[in-house]
Structure 1
Amino acid sequence: MLNYISKCNNNFMQDKKFYHIPEFARIMDLSRIEVFRKVKSGEIPARKSGKSYQISRDFADQIEGVLTGKNKKILDDVIKVYKSDEIVDFGLKNRPVPVHRFTKKISTDQIDYVLEKIGNDAKYNPAILQNCLNTPFLRGQRRELYDPLEEKAAIMFYLLIKNRPFYQQNAEFSILILRCFLGLNARVLNTTSQRMQKLADWIAQSDSEFYSAVMSSCVIFFKNHFD
């Protein structure tokens, strides 16, 4: 009976077009107060409904890595320059980026979409890849462990290179995933694929005891090359 009720609740949540703050907080595993603060700061777009706020399901889907039409368009733009050594901004360069941002996740569904679009049946370890994608969003003591975006990008790329979720061409696909992740968050890595390959090689050869130094260098690199 409890399983049936839980299933009904999940279906009800999926059918909704808008979420109230408590519902959105539960989906995102955040506190109500934290969501309310993000709404008030403009980090989470919401509309006023009486005395409460409503957050669109479309926004929640984009954050959670659901393969929405908007996300597909962004990924398609990244795919257009796959393997290119040119610096392309996908129309994002010089676009004003809000001070407050709610970082969008990249999911294995989105990665599968990208791999299918480029015609590559790449094999990967799902558990390892999922860990690489989830770690940047870990939380501790009511705060994100990796923040802002350049820290999330750095730990994601570091883990992708070190843990090698792809059985072949791991560095190449790791660079592609990173560019997709940044594209979903309206940022462009203003550097060439060749330089990214050199960074990947350096990370791969680095000793684990120098993790902190490597991570710091990656954060600085990404911060200096964000558009």
Structure 2
Amino acid sequence: MSSESQKDKERLAQAAKTFFSCVQDLASFTNTFIELFNSYMSTHILLIAAREDSNVKDFFEHMLKVVKEMKSVVDAKHAEMQKEPLYSKIAMTVFSMIEKGTDLKALHQSAKEVFTNSQEPVIISVLNSSHILGSLETSLSLLMKCPIMNLQLSDFYRKDTKEQSDATTSEESMSPGPSENSVTNTLKKLEDVLKTENAKNPIRSAADRLEQIVKTLGPDLEVLQKVTQTIKTNDSMVKKDSDK
């Protein structure tokens, strides 16, 4: 095998492993995001599973369904906010309390509750300004058209652990990791699915396409992580303030 051909195989293997990691990260970040979203929006959106035996199409279909559901909630809430801005609600609440002659201590406590309960508009604003849900919907819709949809995550990468028996005590059998045959079979399956028609170098063609798929996921993963962290940080600040 030529060194160039070997490099193409290594590229494909690395792209497959990276895709596997991206899907697991996507599931992890999304589930954290879903938990926060359910907490703030009083929704009951189901979490996403990304096991090795998961079908790629099923995973992305579930992701797309979740994103569309959240986007629908955000769009509806944002429309409501435009009709009645948050500052108007707060001003009306405080003004009403002053009119009733509420004492300063009670006014302060109620004001804290108003701002604490205003987290929903804050989250809506963060999601709306980041455009993360719309971006994810677009990316996932494009990915659904890729030829990898009929594969399982284990077709990209698997963490094989060879079982030990009383008669097998070799160092190789005790070491976890993908076997050589497993890697070869994985690369062959990906090559067959991803190669372009009449490609002069099927392995390189497959590597190019899978690397492009990974690039499609990358930016959305970064934004999703940042948005989730922003919401969690905001949540911590509010809880800290409410405890004072």
Which structure has the larger Rg?
2
The normalised TM-score by structure 1 is 0.25
Structure number with the higher strand fraction is 1
The normalised TM-score by structure 2 is 0.23
